[in-house]
Amino acid sequence: MGEPNESPEAMFQRTLKMEASVARVLIAGGIATLEELAYVPIGELLEVQGLDESLAQQFRKRARAYLLRDVMGDEGEGEAVDA
């Protein structure tokens, strides 16, 4: 899923089209993987200093969609998947 030697900041920017400043806020708050962003309780995300609820929901949704596409691509090779 990730690029070799890719930083969490670069991964968030590449996969979720996230601004670097938002990626740094997440990482400073202890969120460094797509799985954490997608599946930690929303209350934990909202505790991240500098992250408001609309951003948390938006990027949580994008992370879940990205992870789902990644899994479907691995398991459903050759099948068309609508995103």
Question: Which tokens go with 5?
Answer: 């030697």
| CA atoms lying within 13 Å on the CB side of residue 62 | 15
State how far the Cα of 45 lies from the Cα of 80, in Å rounded to an integer: 33
Structure pTM?
Answer: 0.79
Q: Per CATH, which fold does 8-74 belong to?
A: DNA polymerase; domain 1 (1.10.150)
pLDDT tens digits for range 52-66: 999 999 999 999 999
Return the closest-CA partner of residue 34 out of 57, 5, 11: 11
Task: Let me know: does 27 contact 50? Beta carbons within 8 Å.
Answer: no
pLDDT tens digits for range 26-79: 999 999 999 999 999 999 999 999 999 999 999 999 999 999 998 887 655 444
